[in-house]
Copies of this chain bind each other. A is one copy, B any other.
Amino acid sequence: MTCTKAVPLYVQLKEHVLQNIRSGEWRSGERVPSEHELVRKFKVSRMTANRALRELMRSGVLARIAGVGTFVGDLKAAAHPLQIRNIAQEIRDRGHRHRALPVTLERICPDATVRSRLGVAAQALHVFHSLIVHFENDVALQVEDRFVNPLIAPDYLAADFTALTPYEYLMEVAPLQRVEHVVRAVQPDARIRGLLKLRPREPALLIERVTWSRAVPASFALLYHPGSRFELRGGFEA
């Protein structure tokens, strides 16, 4: 049987707005239709239009000023350090297209750094290694250099990382218990620079992340992002 799931109206509205922004029809800072205009045009209730615009605002796509209107926001790549989100979801939330390019997928003998991060002793003869480039609308946004504990994900090498991010795969295989990350500004080596298409002096934002599952380190990742196209956002309220 065919599973034709109806697309909710508010999702269709969000898509419509995103489509107009992507196509360049509505530019950054420009006004987008008000809730009432969407109500008239699409024959939906104001609550539905409100939800579509509100969620797009929460994603940073739109900016709203009460009494004035709704405007196209500044679309710059931003991630939330508070939550462990995967890059593909992050990109799709912005209404953009995500593509993953696996460069390397192999079994290696870990060096001292990887061994210490993964906490594997000398008896562990190998770990899995993947190097994947993530694109947002065909522009490189992240180089993911990841080392995986084979005890946690023995079939890691068999996964199809064009369809699923390593994050998504690992979340399915093993429950996430603990996460640690370190954020730094670096000048990456020539290989990473090439993959990210960095300009000559452009720095990269590096996130080193270790995830733990069942009380043992499951994965150690080096996430490189172009300094000019990526930022981490966070905040809290008292």
Contacts and interface: CB of A to CB of B under 8 A. Distances in A.
Interface of A: 47, 58-60, 74-75, 77-78, 80-84, 175-187, 201-206, 225, 227, 230-238
A135 to B, nearest CB: 19
A84 B179 CA distance: 20
A80 B227 contact: no
B74 A180 contact: no
B231 A184 contact: yes
A53 to B, nearest CB: 14
Nearest to A58: B58
Nearest to A80: B236
**Total copies of this chain within the assembly:** 2
Nearest to A81: B81
Nearest to A78: B182
Contacts of A233: 180-183
Contacts of A181: 81, 233-235
Nearest to A206: B185
A187 B175 contact: no
B81 A77 contact: no
Contacts of A84: 75, 236
Nearest to A15: B237
Residue with the highest number of chain B CB atoms closer than 10 Å, among A183, A225, A227, A237: A183
